[in-house]
Amino acid sequence: MRRISYKATESTTKRLLLLVLVLVSALALVAAGCGGDDDDEGGEDTSAAETGAAAGGGGCDKSIWVLLPDSASSPRWETDDRPYFDQAFSEAGVEHTIVNAEGDAATQQSQAEQAIADGAGVIVLTSLDTGSGATIIDQAKEAGVQVIEYDRFNTGSSGGAAYVSFDNVKVGATMAEVLEPEIDALGDTPRVMMLNGGEEDNNAFLFRDGYAETVEAKVDAGEWELVDDQFVPGWGANGEGQTIMEQVLTDANNKVDAVFAANDNLATQAINALEAAGVGPVPLSGQDATAAGIQQILLGKQTMTVYKPIQAEADVAAKAALALCAGEDPGSVESEFDFATIGITAEDGKPADSPTGEGVVPYLALTPIGVTVDNIADTVIADGFRTVEEICTGDTANTDFCKENSR
């Protein structure tokens, strides 16, 4: 009985094994078919490299580093630029690192060296000053790492592979375009102050070129009087602009009728000094369309700001970085945002006649927008760059704009 039982069990086992083998083979065929369907339909079973290529990473198989300057000179670097770059490179499936030097040139130098050691393909650099920026560019190029100069240009270097920023002379010209009729309306001979950015930043000279053309023409014609013309170290990151403005007011017996402030941070410091001296409000420019700048416009303390859609600037820079990383021409990139490819001279940071040539860096230049109380809703609010909720706080909540637009 045991033997018969044994034979019966052995036979059954063989049949079961055969059935299992058949089932396994069938399942393997089904799995292979399913895998093919996923690939055809762009399913999740793709490699990281394929994902990056599909998202726009192309042939970029190295990391991209973004070096930001600080948080004090403008809040934009952390609140706007960082998230835009992070989103762009994440969507492209490209490894990236974003760091902030927090105002320390030695820290930024160390971050650049770390990027080079990490095997970065491209560094997107917003330098703290032209000297340290030039050193980083030359060091990176020597190591075979491409550099995109972002927002701030670095004179005295051999030049990055591309410079991405707004048309900086046009930024200053936009300030003059808005302020000129306001100053002319003051009558007599208005006394004007130029409160420029930091001399360590080439952009400060370009912004000044833009509004100084109007100021100097008016002064030469005897229509305006120039009270003072000063550059503010570090863009007033530690309140230097207010100190300078206070001294100018003292020297001028408070007779300052208008101020060309190179950004919203300097505009705020000028307002603080003017209010403390019992002067104003006066025609006053700004730049960056910060929440504080927009609030000051609504409160009647600041006349205008220059809106440089940072999403547009970061989009073009990210695309240029991805192109460079893939061995392509950064000047050939396309964006939904309008920009022109012009040239800038590496030696002195002045506009060039052509985007190519010895000592010339291709300059991907975007167009700035002047913002006043009349078009806040149609520009920074409509673009989602600023929100009614962040602007309509404190005293600003009682302005007509906030009463009309707040829920």
The pLDDT tens digits for 252-284 are 999 999 999 999 999 999 999 999 999 989 999
DSSP 273-300: HHHHTT-----B---S--HHHHHHHHTT
In the chain, CATH 3.40.50.2300 covers 59-167+310-367, 168-308+371-405
State CA 356 to chain mean position distance: 24
The pLDDT tens digits for 90-119 are 999 999 999 999 999 999 999 999 999 999
What are the Cα distances from residue 322, in Å, to 122, 164, 274, 376?
8, 13, 46, 33
Q: What is the pTM of this model?
A: 0.72
Sheet holding 339-345, edge to edge: 96-100, 64-68, 122-125, 146-150, 162-166, 360-366, 339-345, 351-352
Looking at residues 201-218, what average pLDDT do you find? Answer: 96
10 Å CB burial of residue 82 (0-12, 13-18, 19+) is middle
CATH number of this structure's domain 168-308+371-405, picked from the four choices 3.30.420.40, 3.60.15.10, 3.40.50.2300, 2.30.140.10: 3.40.50.2300
21, pLDDT greater than 50? no
pLDDT band at 183, cuts 50/70/90? very high
State CA 300 to chain mean position distance: 27
Per the structure block, which two tokens stand in for 128? 């703290």
The amino acid present at 127, given as its one-letter code, is S
Question: What class, spelled out in words, does domain 59-167+310-367 have in CATH?
Answer: alpha beta
